[in-house]
Amino acid sequence: MFPIRDTKNSNKFPFVNLAIIGTNIYVFYLELTNPAIEQFIGKYALIPANINFADINTLSPFVTSMFLHAGFLHIISNMWFLWIFGDNVEAKIGHIKYFTFYIFCGIVAAFVQYIFTASSNIPMLGASGAIAGVLGAYLRFFPRNKVDTLIPVFFLPLVISIPAVFMLVYWFLIQAFSTFSAITETAGGFDGIAYSAHIGGFLIGFITARYFVWQSRRF
């Protein structure tokens, strides 16, 4: 299932969500044009084995890594999900709080993945953990919204409007199953995808989103 659009728009300009998307695209451009890309990734990606909680200088990748991506498909899919689901969440909790929430979810997601790969020298990068937090918040606030979803049926593209709760719970279960496979087979990194970060981000987003709403916002 691939989401195309949600059917209820906030009608509020999501400038923070757009700024996050723009920043991710800009950083990806810097990656592509950097003549020393391996050094660039090594500096800003989260390499678990390099983390020392007694040295604050080693902790910045918990933030910087969420603005890096491994390729065009990686960044396009991440930004597409953020584009569809982020605007309503931003409208619900407010612009500044949305940015704080996004960074918070990204850090927690990266830490959850770190727990399972603490000795790994493989760089962790991508916005999917933070975006998973946004999905969790969307499920918390808008479970009854409908999402127009592309579903291939006998190799034919079929667009069906389905409840957000169904789509997001289905997405979560896929991540949970993949996380279990990752833990049992490769200690947290299955096919190079940080499923544990997805689960951590989604759960922390779903659990804490309501605490970022300081006043009633309706649309």
Evaluate whether residue 217 is within a structural domain: no
| pLDDT score of 215 more than 90 | no
* pLDDT over 70, % of the chain: 91
What's the pLDDT tens digit per position in 26-39? 999 999 999 999 99
Between helices 164-186 and 128-141, what is the axis angle to 10°? 140
Per-residue pLDDT reduced to its tens digit, 110-124: 999 999 888 889 999
The CATH number that applies at residue 118 is: 1.20.1540.10
Instruction: Indicate whether 191 pLDDT > 50.
Output: no
Residue 219 lies in a domain: no
Residue range of the domain that includes 180: 2-212
Looking at the structure of the chain, the number of domains it has is 1
pLDDT at 181: 66
Does 92 reside within a domain? yes
pTM of the model: 0.90
Does the structure show a pLDDT above 50 at 187? no
pLDDT at position 1 is 76
| Per-residue model confidence as pLDDT tens digits over 57-105 | 999 999 999 999 989 999 999 999 999 999 999 999 999 999 999 999 9
pLDDT of res. 157: 80
pLDDT at 108: 97
Other beta carbons less than 10 A from residue 20's beta carbon:
26
Give 193-209 pLDDT, tens digit per residue.
778 899 999 999 999 99
218, part of any domain: no
